[in-house]
């Protein structure tokens, strides 16, 4: 059996290596490493994939994408931005970097996504924006979130780093890709993402032409004309080598996501009889592209299960072991733990199994059999 990895990037790369090698050779011969045809072509191809008249502005990474999105909205120090307590730190990190005030809310116990009721209860006269996180591969409840945002005149920045390619269907039957529903969408092309490059990379999406223009300038030192700096900007660029990798992978993204969905089906069916586990739930109105396959361990033996799997050479990760509001960097002292029962429960229960496009049946059966064996031995 092939060694089990959380993400098998080597095997995925081998299938497209010749295409990438050809692209890289052309880039090496031209010396066009920053910007140029590869980056422009990738932007256009991703715009076509996303639809909904989205403009794509590539940047250096997903964290920059979030920061630039907030900068483009001209928020002021002290303005409040609401996001979920149960997610990766980058989402709240950029809020603090810009001198804004983060307001964290609890999540839904079934999907781990932002709870709209908690969201609306957290809105004050200082609230200016919402960052819903499309966590683990499925869309946050965007119809409700957009309704709340419109009611209170708030911006919506979608964090799509874990759900590119997921689709949300509204009650009127219309469907939109993750990242194209709010004011601005952002994503990461970190290698382990569903659409990943060979280093860091990111992108910002918007259907607003004026915002797209502002974002392009911010990402390029605040320049709209060379050496004329109209706004305070940053240096955040996707290079041509990474763009060529993404161009090779983008046409395969539906296939990649389908492979993840099939792996998730195998896991869920294989573990369905294990009463100590809760398999992932599906959010209403959203497809799930399974950036992570995350179980809940119900009998208090999550850490023991992780150690047991490690002894069998099966990696398993805990995303996320500490709530954002309890991180040293972001603990404002203003939170009441009673308002976060779901987050505080999840951080003691969740565990993510290997999930990628190259999982085979032998590997998955081995993982499933060992999980069953663990709970059989610990009854």
pLDDT in tens, 73-83: 999 999 999 99
Residue 378 has pLDDT above 90, yes or no: no
Structure tokens given for 292: 């992570």
What pairing do the DSSP bridges indicate for beta strands 223-225 and 202-206? unpaired
| Residue keyed to tokens 């999540």 | 107
Name the E strands within 310-376.
350-353
Half-sphere exposure of 172 (CA within 13 A, CB side): 3
What is the rounded distance in angstroms from the CA atom of residue 72 to the CA atom of residue 84?
21
pLDDT at res. 52: 78
Closest CA to 194 of 159, 165, 237: 165
Would you tell me how many other CB atoms lie within 10 Å of the CB of residue 370?
16
Q: Does 320 sit behind a cis peptide bond, omega within 30 degrees of 0 on the bond before it?
A: yes
What number is the average pLDDT over the span 223-234? Answer: 94
What number is the average pLDDT over the span 50-70? Answer: 95
pLDDT in tens, 126-183: 999 999 999 999 999 999 999 999 999 999 999 999 999 999 999 999 999 999 999 9
pLDDT at res. 312: 98
Half-sphere exposure of 32 (CA within 13 A, CB side): 13
Per the CB < 8 A criterion, the answer to whether 291 and 167 are in contact is no
Q: How confident is the model at residue 60 (pLDDT cuts 50, 70, 90)?
A: very high
Residue 227: C-alpha distances to residues 2, 39, 78, 231 (Å): 53, 22, 31, 12
Structure tokens given for 52: 């909904």
What is the rounded distance in angstroms from the CA atom of residue 320 to the CA atom of residue 343?
10
| DSSP line for 19-85 | HHHHHHHHHHHHT--BSSHHHHHHHHHHHHHH-TT-EEEEES-HHHHHHHHHHHTT--TT-EEEEES
Rg (CA), the chain: 21
Would you tell me how many other CB atoms lie within 10 Å of the CB of residue 106?
25
What is the rounded distance in angstroms from the CA atom of residue 65 to the CA atom of residue 200?
12
Closest CA to 70 of 200, 210, 214: 214
Per the CB < 8 A criterion, the answer to whether 368 and 267 are in contact is yes
What is the rounded distance in angstroms from the CA atom of residue 46 to the CA atom of residue 251?
9
Higher per-residue confidence, 77 vs 377: 77
Residue 355: C-alpha distances to residues 250, 259, 273, 295, 359 (Å): 19, 10, 21, 12, 7
Would you tell me how many other CB atoms lie within 10 Å of the CB of residue 77?
8
Would you tell me how many other CB atoms lie within 10 Å of the CB of residue 252?
15
What is the rounded distance in angstroms from the CA atom of residue 77 to the CA atom of residue 242?
34
Per the CB < 8 A criterion, the answer to whether 100 and 79 are in contact is yes
Residue 379 has pLDDT above 80, yes or no: no
Rounded to the nearest 10 degrees, what angle do helices 240-249 and 37-50 cross at?
40
Q: How confident is the model at residue 120 (pLDDT cuts 50, 70, 90)?
A: very high
pTM tops 0.85: yes
What is the rounded distance in angstroms from the CA atom of residue 35 to the CA atom of residue 18?
22
């Amino acid at each position: 059996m092939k060694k089990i990895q959380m993400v098998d990037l080597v095997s995925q790369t081998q299938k497209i290596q010749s295409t990438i090698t050809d692209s890289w050779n052309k880039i090496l011969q031209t010396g066009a490493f920053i910007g140029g045809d590869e980056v422009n072509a990738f932007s256009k191809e991703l715009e076509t994939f996303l639809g909904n008249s989205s403009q794509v502005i590539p940047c250096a990474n997903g964290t920059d994408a979030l920061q630039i999105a907030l900068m483009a909205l001209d928020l002021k120090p002290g303005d409040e931005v609401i996001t979920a307590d149960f997610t990766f730190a980058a989402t709240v990190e950029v809020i603090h970097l810009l001198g804004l005030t983060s307001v964290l809310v609890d999540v839904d116990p079934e999907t781990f996504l932002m709870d709209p009721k908690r969201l609306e209860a957290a809105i004050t006269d200082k609230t200016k924006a919402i960052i819903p996180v499309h966590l683990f591969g499925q869309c946050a409840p965007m119809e409700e979130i957009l309704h709340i945002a419109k009611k209170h005149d708030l911006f919506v920045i979608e964090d799509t780093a874990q759900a590119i390619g997921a689709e949300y269907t509204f009650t009127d039957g219309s469907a939109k890709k993750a990242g194209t529903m709010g004011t601005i969408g952002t994503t990461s092309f970190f290698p382990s993402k569903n659409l990943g490059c060979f280093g860091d990379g990111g992108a910002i999406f918007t259907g607003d032409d004026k915002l797209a223009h502002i974002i392009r300038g911010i990402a390029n030192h605040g320049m709209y004309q060379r050496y004329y700096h109209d706004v305070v900007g940053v240096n955040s660029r996707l290079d041509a080598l990474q763009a060529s990798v993404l161009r090779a992978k983008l046409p395969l993204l539906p296939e990649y996501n389908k492979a993840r969905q099939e792996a998730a089906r195998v896991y869920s069916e294989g573990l369905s009889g294990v009463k100590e586990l809760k398999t992932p739930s599906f959010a209403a109105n959203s497809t799930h592209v399974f950036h992570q396959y995350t179980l809940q361990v119900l009998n208090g033996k999550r850490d023991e299960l992780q150690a047991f799997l490690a002894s069998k050479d099966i990696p398993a990760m805990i995303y996320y072991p500490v709530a954002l509001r309890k991180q040293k960097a972001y603990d404002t002292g203003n939170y009441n733990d009673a308002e976060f029962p779901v987050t505080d429960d999840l951080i003691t229960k969740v565990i993510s199994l290997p999930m990628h496009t190259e999982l085979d049946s032998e590997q998955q059966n081995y993982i499933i059999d060992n999980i069953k064996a663990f709970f059989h031995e610990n009854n």
